[in-house]
Amino acid sequence: MFKITPRAAQQIQQAAKMGGTEGMALRFAAQKKEDGSFDYLMGFDDAKDDDIQFDSEGVSVIMEPEYFSLLDETTMDFTELDDGESQFIFINPKDSNYTPPKEPVQ
């Protein structure tokens, strides 16, 4: 199942509040590139009839069924990178660029 960490959920909720999108679901999509790596897309949106819908850490998540198989088993986190910048990251064992985390993801 796709999941969002508590840190990522907090950042998403702050962004929704600042952007005036509170109460909207967060839509996810992914595209697999020729080299086996993935491009990840997300944005606030309204649910459509055929969307897969669920909650993770208090965030309403939606995605089209075609993306669920690519995103299943994925964890989205918000973390500080080596250069001191914080950003969302996707930990997906189906992505050819996947490296297991050194520390357990919460």
**Per-residue three-class SS string for 20-66:** CCCCCEEEEEEEECCCCCEEEEEEEECCCCCCEEEEECCEEEEECHH
pLDDT, one tens digit per residue, over 43-90 is: 999 999 999 999 999 999 999 999 999 999 999 999 987 778 899 999
Distance of alpha carbon 9 from its chain centroid, rounded? 10
pLDDT, one tens digit per residue, over 12-26 is: 999 999 999 999 999
pLDDT at 106: 56
Structural domains of the chain, ranges and CATH numbers in brackets: 3-91 (2.60.300.12)
pTM of the model: 0.85
* Residue 103 pLDDT greater than 70, yes or no: no
The tokens 């998403």 sit on which residue? 12
Token reading at 97: 């660029």
Q: What's the CA gap between 98 and 92, in Å, rounded? A: 6
Task: Report the run of H or E that residue 80 belongs to, with start and end.
Answer: strand 75-80
